[in-house]
Structure 1
Amino acid sequence: MAKRRKLEAPSAEDLGRIEEEFRRETPYRNPTAPIATVASEAAEAYQPGTPEQRRDEAQAAAFRDAEEQGRVIKLIGLDEVEPVSIPRDRTVLDKESLEELEYSIGLHGVRLPIEVYEIKDPAQSKRFGLISGYRRLIAQQNLYQRTGADNLAQIKAVVRDPEQMGGAFVAMVEENEIRQDLSHYERGRIAAIAAQQGAFANTEAAVSEMFGAASKAKRSKIRSFAMIFEELGDMLRFPEGMREKDGLRLAQALRGGAEARLREVLGTGQGVDAKSEWALIEAVLSEQGDDGRDPKRGGRPKVSVPKAGWAGNDVLRTSTGVTMRRESDSNGYVLRFSGKGVSAELMEMLMLDIKEKLEKG
C-alpha cells in the first residue's frame, strides 16, 4: 500500500511570491470594453467641418503668418507711397541707368518688389513710407506719367516692420550696400542725417549701427565723411565724386579748424563743377600746409582764392561769398553784386535797406 503524501498549505510569503510572478508573466488587459476604446479614439481624432473647410482654414493661417513675416507681395498704388518719408542715402540717380531701368519695367514690369512700411500718421493718401527700391519706384512713376498705362498705376511691394529689420535707416543702407555701393560721402551723409533726426544718439552710434558689418577702418572713414557733411554739406555742390583720399584730407583740415576759411572760398561761387570746386578746397588745404601733391610731378597751377575784405577802394568781398563792386559813369554811381549768395530776394532786401537810409538822410 502506497504511502500518502502529506500536503502543507503555502505560507503568506509563498503566496506573495507566486502572485508577483503571475503579474510579471501575465500581460495587462484594459478592463474597458473594446467599443469604448474605439469611441474614445474617434472622438480625439474628430475635426469639425469638411476637408475643404479645414484646408481653407490652414491656408488662411499660413497666409497670416507669411504676411506678418513680410513674405507676401502686394500691389500698392504709386500715389500711396511716400518716397522720402526717410531721407535717402542715394543722392544722385544716374540718368542713363534710370532710363535703362524704365525700359526694362516697360517690358517686364518690376521684377523685384520694393520694400515699404506703414506710416503711423499718414498724411493725405500716403499710407506707406519707402525703405528700399527708390530707383524702381521713380522709374515706374516716370513711366506712368508718360504713358498713363493702367498696369503701371500699382507697384509690387512687400510691407515690412522696420523695427524687426533693425530700423528703417539700417534696412535702407543694407539694401543699397548690397545692390550698388554708396559713395563715401553718401555713407557719411545718411549717418549724420539719421543722428540729426533722432534715430540714433549721435553720429558715432549711427555709423556703428548702420554699418555694423564694415571693418573698423571703414567705419572710421565714414565718420570723416559724416563730419564733412555736417560742417560743409550746405556749401558743397559736387561732393559725391570726392575721392576717398581727398575726403580724408578735407576731414583732417576741418579738424584743424579750417571750416571758416573753407566756407569763405566755397561761397565765392567759383566752384561751377566738381573739378573747380575741389580746386577751391585744395587751395585752402595748401594754405593749411597740406596740398597733397608731389612737388616733382607738377600738375595744374594752384587756384588763387580771394579773401574777404576790401580789394582797393571799389571792391568789397564778404565772408559769405558775395562781392560788391562800385562803379560810376556819366549817369551816376552803380553798385554791382555778384557771387553764389546773390538772389532776387537779397537784392530786394538791400534796396529796402538803402531806401530806408536815403529817406532818413
Structure 2
Amino acid sequence: MAKRRKIAAPSADDLTRIEDEFRRETLNTPNPALAPISQVSAEAAQAQPVLDAETRAKQAQQEADATALEDAKGQGRLIENIPLDDILADAMVRDRTVIDPNDMSELKASIAAHGLRLPIEVFRRDDPEQPFGLLSGYRRLWAIRELFGLTGAEKYKTIKSLVRDPEALGGGFAAMVEENEVRASLSHYERGRIAVVAAQQGAFPSTEKAVSSLFSVASKAKRSKIRSFSLIFEELGDLLEFPESLKERDGLRLSAALRNGAEADLRDALAKVQPASAEAEWACMASVIDAFEITGAVEKKGGRPKKQAPQIGWAGQDTLHLSSGVTLQYGTDAQGYVIRLKGRGVDGALVERAMEHLRYLFEKG
C-alpha cells in the first residue's frame, strides 16, 4: 500500500512569492493567441500613464484648436503679418486708375492714429522673392509703405493680410472689383476699363461677359452704362488724358457718337491737341460728338420709304430718346423749368410714378 503524502497549506509568504512569479512569467512571455502588433499595442498601452479626466479634456481641446486653426488658414480666414517686400502690388492690372492724394493723406493719418483695422487680401505666387500678389487693398498697402518710408518704424515693415484663393472668390478680377465697389466706389470709366482688361487677359470670353460677371449684382441700367464706358476705353483709351473725369451724361453721349461711327474723327481731334484739363479735352471732342448725335436717314432706292427710328440717347442739349420709345425733353418758360414726356407707353400712371420719383430726388437733395 502506497504511503500517503501529507499536504500542507501554503503560507502568506508562499502565496506572495507564487503571485510574483506568475506576473513575471505572463508579462515577459508573449501571448501566442495575439498577433505581434497586438502584443506591441498591449504593452504600449500598459506603459502609458493613466491620465485624469481634466488632462484628457485639455488635450482634446488642444487638438480641436489646432484643427480649427489649420482650417482657418486654409480658407483664408487667418490674419498674417506679411513683410511689405514679399508682396507684389501690381501682380494684377488694377481697376482703380486714380488715387486721390487727399484720400491717401486721410488714410495714412487714420492708420497712424488707430492702426490698420482692415487687412489687405493677397494670393500666393510662384516667386520666392515676392511670394504674394495683391488681390485687394491697394491704397492700404501704399499707405503702409509710405508710413514706413517716412518713419522707418518696425510696426510698418509688415502688413496685416488674409491669404486668399482668388478662384474660390469667383476669380481675382471679381474679388478686386467687389472690394473696391464696397469700400471706394469706382468711376464708370474705371469699371468699363477693368471689364475690357479682364476680357483681354482671358479671364472672360468677351467684354460683355466680363461686365455681366464682374457687376452681376448691379442693376441692368448700371451695367448698360458700364458697357458704354468700356467702349470709350476700347476705342479712345490710349488718347484720353482725363477719362476718369468724364461725367456720366457726357460719357454716354461720347459712347453714342462712337457707336454712330465717330471713332476716326474723335481720334483725329484728340491727336491734334494736348489738353491741360478735363474741360479742355471735352471741348476738343464736343463738335465731333454734336455732329454724330443726330444722323439723317439713309437714302435707299426703290420701295416705300421707312420711318426713321429715333436715335437712342441725347439729341442736342435738351432731348433724350430712351430705348423704350419714350422721349424726354426739357426747357424753360416764364415760370421755370418744363419737362415734356411723349412716346409709346406714356400715360397718367407712368407720369404719376415719375412725379413720385422726382419728389424723392428733390426732397433727398
TM-score of Structure 1 vs Structure 2, range by shorter chain = 0.5 to 0.7
Counterpart pick for 1:293 among 301, 304, 317: 317
The structural deviation recorded for 1:129 is: 1.2
Instruction: Find the aligned partners of 1:270 and 1:134 in 2 and give their Cα distance.
Output: 30
1:162 aligns with 2:204: no
- Deviation beyond 6 Å, 4+ runs, structure 1: none
Task: Sort the Cα spacing of 1:51 and 1:211 in 2 relative to 1 into closer, same or farther, 3 A.
Answer: same
Counterpart of 1:65 in structure 2: which amino acid? D
Aligned partners of 2:293 and 2:316 also within 8 Å: no
Instruction: Note the C-alpha offset of 1:235.
Output: 0.3
**Residues in 1 aligned to 2:138 and 2:87: alpha-carbon distance in whole angstroms:** 11
C-alpha contact (below 8 Å) 2:94/2:194 kept by paired residues: yes
Pairs within 5 Å for 1:16-95 = 50-95=56-101
Aligned to 1:153: 157
- Are 1:210 and 2:234 matched, yes or no? no
Q: 1:126 is matched by which residue type in structure 2?
A: Q
Q: Deviations over 1:236-258 (max 9, x none)?
A: 01011111111111111111111
Q: Which residue of 2 aligns with 1:116?
A: 122
Q: Distance in 2 between matches of 1:292 and 1:248?
A: 13
Alpha-carbon distance in 2 for matches of 1:228, 1:155: 37
SS of alignment partner, residue 107 of structure 1: helix
Aligned counterpart, 1:172:
176
Amino acid at match of 1:52: K
Partner AA of 2:276 in structure 1: V
Provide the rounded CA distance (Å) in 1 between the counterparts of 2:150 and 2:269. Answer: 42
C-alpha separation in 1, matches of 2:156 and 2:103: 19
Is this contact kept in 1: 2:104–2:143, CA < 8 A? yes
Q: Is the 8 A contact 2:195 2:210 kept in 1?
A: yes
Secondary structure (helix, strand or coil) at the match of 1:240 reads helix
Change (3 A) 1:206 1:279: same
Q: CA offset at residue 127 of structure 1?
A: 1.1
What SS class does the counterpart of residue 112 from structure 1 fall into?
A: coil
1:131 aligns with 2:135: yes
| d(CA) in 2 for partners of 1:118, 1:242 | 36
Task: List per-residue Cα deviations over 1:129-177 (Å, max 9, x = no partner).
Answer: 1111111111111111111111100000001111111001001111111
The alpha-carbon distance between structure 1 residues 62 and 219, as it changes in their structure 2 partners (threshold 3 A), is: same
Q: Secondary structure at the match of 2:121?
A: strand
TM superposition shift of 1:181: 1.3
Asked if the contact 2:88/2:133 (under 8 Å) is kept, the reply is: yes
Q: Give me the whole-angstrom Cα distance separating, in 1, the residues matched to 2:84 and 2:274.
A: 40
Q: Which of the numbers 191, 195, 201 marks the counterpart of 2:199?
A: 195
What is residue 242 of structure 1 aligned with on the other side? 246
Q: How many residues of Structure 1 are paired with residues of Structure 2 in the alignment? A: 249
CA contact (8 A) 2:257 2:293 kept: no
Separation (CA, whole Å) in 2 of partners of 1:112 and 1:292? 47
Q: Secondary structure at the match of 2:217?
A: coil
The CA distance in 1 between the partners of 2:293 and 2:69, in whole Å, is 65
| Contact preservation (8 Å) 2:256, 2:293 | no
Counterparts of 1:224-263 in structure 2, within 5 Å, are: 224-263=228-267
Alpha-carbon offset, residue 270 of structure 1: 3.7
1: CA distance between counterparts of 2:316 and 2:56?
Answer: 80
CA-to-aligned-CA distance 1:194-214 (integer Å, 9 cap, x gap) = 001111111011001100001
Paired residue secondary structure (2:169): coil
Distance 1:67 1:217 in 2: 39
CA-to-aligned-CA distance 1:181-239 (integer Å, 9 cap, x gap): 11110100000000011111110110011000011221111111111101100000101
How far apart are the structure 2 equivalents of 1:250 and 1:83? 33
- Secondary structure of the 1:234 match is coil
Paired position in structure 2 for 1:100: 106
| Cα RMSD for the two superposed structures | 2.0
Per-residue CA distance 1:291-311 (angstroms, 9 max, x = gap): 7325989xxxxxxxxxxxxxx
CA distance in 1, matches of 2:66, 2:137: 29
Per-residue CA deviation, residues 85-128 of structure 1 (Å, 9 max, x unaligned), is 11111111110110111111112221100011112x22x62111
Change (3 A) 1:146 1:292: farther
Residue identity opposite 1:63 in structure 2? L
Letter in 1 for 2:201: Q
Letter in 1 for 2:106: E
- Following superposition, the deviation at residue 50 of structure 1 comes to 4.2
Corresponding position of 2:19: none
Gaps of 5+ in 2: 1-51, 295-314, 320-330, 333-365
Q: Distance in 1 between matches of 2:246 and 2:240?
A: 11
Identity %: 54
1:184 is aligned to 2:188: yes
Which residue identity lines up with residue 260 of structure 2 in the other structure?
G
Q: Structure 1 CA distance, aligned partners of 2:220 and 2:155?
A: 47
